[in-house]
Amino acid sequence: MTMNKADWTWFNGQLVPWDEAQVNVAAHVLHYGSSVFEGIRAYATDDGPAVFCLGPHVDRLFNSAKVYRIEIPYTKEEITQAITDTIKANGHGACYIRPLVFRGFDSLGIDPRSCPVEVAIITMEWGRYLGPEAIEQGVDVGVSSWQRMSPNTFPAAAKIGGQYINSQLIVMEAKNHGYTEGIALDANGFVSEGSGENIFVIKDGRILTPPLASSILQGVTRRCVITLAEDVGYDVWEELIPREVLYMADEVFFTGTAAEITPIRSIDHIPVGEGRRGPVTERLQTEFFGITSGQMPDRHGWLTPVS
265 counts as binding ligand PLP under rule CB under 6 A: no
For residue 141, state whether it binds ligand PLP (rule: CB under 6 A): no
Find the part of the chain contacting ligand PLP (CB under 6 A) among 77-85, 91-99, 219-227, 262-270: 219-227
Residue 45 or 198: the one with the smaller Cβ distance to ligand PLP is 198
Among 90, 221, 281, 304, binds ligand PLP (CB under 6 A): 221
SS3 283: helix
The contact mask relative to ligand PLP for 174-213 (x = CB under 6 A, - = no) is -------------------x--xxx---------------
Query: Whose CA is closest to 282, among 241, 251, 245, 240?
Result: 251
Q: Which of 76, 159, 175, 203 is catalytic?
A: 159
Tell me 272's DSSP state. P
DSSP string, 148-179: PPPTTTS-TTS-BGGGHHHHHHHHHHHHHTT-
Using the rule CB under 6 A, is 33 a contact of ligand PLP? Answer: no
161 binds ligand PLP (CB under 6 A): no
217 touching ligand PLP, by CB under 6 A:
yes
Residue with Cβ nearer ligand PLP (199 or 267): 199
Interface positions, 35-64, toward ligand PLP (CB under 6 A): 39
Strands annotated E in the chain: 8-11, 14-17, 35-37, 40-45, 48-52, 95-103, 117-124, 139-143, 181-185, 191-194, 198-203, 206-209, 236-238, 251-256, 260-267, 270-271, 303-305
Buried b (16+ CB within 10 A) or exposed e, 179-200: bbbbbbbbeeebbbbbbbbbbb
Residue 68: count other Cβ atoms within 10 Å of its Cβ.
20
**Interface residue with ligand PLP, options 9, 86, 167, 180 (CB under 6 A):** 167
Q: How far is the CB of 73 from ligand PLP (least distance, A)?
A: 24
- Positions marked catalytic: 159
Q: What is the binding site for ligand PLP (CB under 6 A)?
A: 39, 167, 193, 196-198, 217, 219-222, 255-257
